[in-house]
Amino acid sequence: MTAFVTGGDAEHGADGGVSMIHQPGTLTVEVEDQREHGRILTIGGEVDILTAPQLARALDLAVAAHPSRILADLSGVLYMGAAGLTVLLRAHAAAGPHTVFAVIANGAAARPLRVTDVDSAFAVYPNRETALACTAAMLTPVSMRSEPS
């Protein structure tokens, strides 16, 4: 798992892991590589004009790996600004037809997706379990995918 922290502080726990501390203007992104089933990015904090570039970088790295699925879990997002919506739309477009791109959103992130109609560009699910189950049927086996040139 990879963790990105911007704009705030992180403390190292007793087990050597990173414990996140939320401060205004903080964005955390944890990347979970599920090998042939894709990548899950767990995003927390505030996605605004200052933190959106870090989210874009994490999504760009996920897209560049050409996984079969990318799930952006926004359950921990406290604020979602227009810059964050733009990042999600660009990542969806960059993912291309061979990568299932979906978002998990409830709470603070769900409303901006809905009222701006961004949720019509890609699937939005209320929780991780539903997202995993619903996108599983859309996955193309790795052996049938062609790598972009």
Domain locations along the chain: 26-137
Q: Domain 26-137 belongs to what topology?
A: Transcription Regulator spoIIAA (3.30.750)
What are 129's two structure tokens?
């379990």
User: What predicted TM-score, i.e. pTM, was given to this entire model?
Assistant: 0.78
Tens-digit pLDDT profile for residues 10-67: 443 344 444 444 455 789 999 999 876 799 999 999 999 999 999 999 999 999 999 9
Q: Do 70 and 101 touch, CB atoms closer than 8 A?
A: yes
Q: Region of 108 please: left (phi>0), alpha (psi -120 to 50) or beta.
A: alpha
Strand partners, 31: 2, 41
